[in-house]
Amino acid sequence: MDSLVIVIEPTNPENRSVHSQVLAKLPNYFKQKGDYKNPSDVNAGPFQFASGYKGTYFDWLEETPDQQEAFNRMMALTRLERGEQWFEFFPTEERFGSMDPSAPLLVDVGGGLGHDLTAFHTKFPNLPGKLILQDLPVVINNVKLDAAIERIAHDFFQPQPVKGAKVYYLRTVLHDWADKQAIEILKNIRDAMSADSILLLNENFLPEKDVPQYNAEVDFSMLAIFSSLERTEKQWRALIEAAGLKVVKVWTPKLQLAASATLFEAVRAD
């Protein structure tokens, strides 16, 4: 699931300001750990330390409906800050215009409520091939979409059920996960890819120096809530290669806003 952690006050007072609680207890977390290193255990990081919850943040969302609803709505709002859509600076029609209409064209893995696929279909209503949205049942079961978009309940830690799609697409999914889990997600996709398939990762990345405030704040949120991080281009490339993939090209929008993403295009390494 894609994410920027912004918590809306829920109706249940016991669940309020979880993000703030985790941030406030970070000094105690690092003091207890003693090594002052970036956390990497998604099941035993700052979120679990501060909240006392034993699972991941996404597990907690599933058990907390008001927070899950707020999370889903906020994900829609964050798209307003991103500027150009990926398919506006990627040669979409040139690359995808000759597809078999019966074959899977674009699989949006962890695509939430389907905003990206809806925007893609609106821009290119006549592109041949199937459009498929995947996410957990708690997210996807009540999503209302254009009939052209197929919904599949899927956990991306399980084998990818759609084989040989032209494009497997993830938008700000992997920044929610430490390297171990991110590589597992990528390997499940890689195993489903054909020689003609491509992977498109739509992610923010940190410059090596002079990091903008927005990106630094997101990086801190990823550390606190997910035991993860915002990655530099070098770190993204290393992660992709560790999953048996290779980067073909890095695409960037003409106008780079604070929340603009970069598109990593990758294929199977073998």
Catalytic residues: 175
Contacts (Cβ under 8 Å, ≥6 apart) of 231: 175, 203, 205, 206, 239
d(CA 204, CA 232): 9
Cβ–Cβ under 8 Å, residues 240 and 266: yes
Q: Provide the strand spans (E) within 34-127.
A: 104-109
**Token code pair at residue 32:** 């207890």
The three-state secondary structure class of 266 is: strand
d(CA 207, CA 169): 23
The three-state secondary structure class of 138 is: helix
Contacts (Cβ under 8 Å, ≥6 apart) of 126: none
Q: Which amino acid is at 175?
A: H
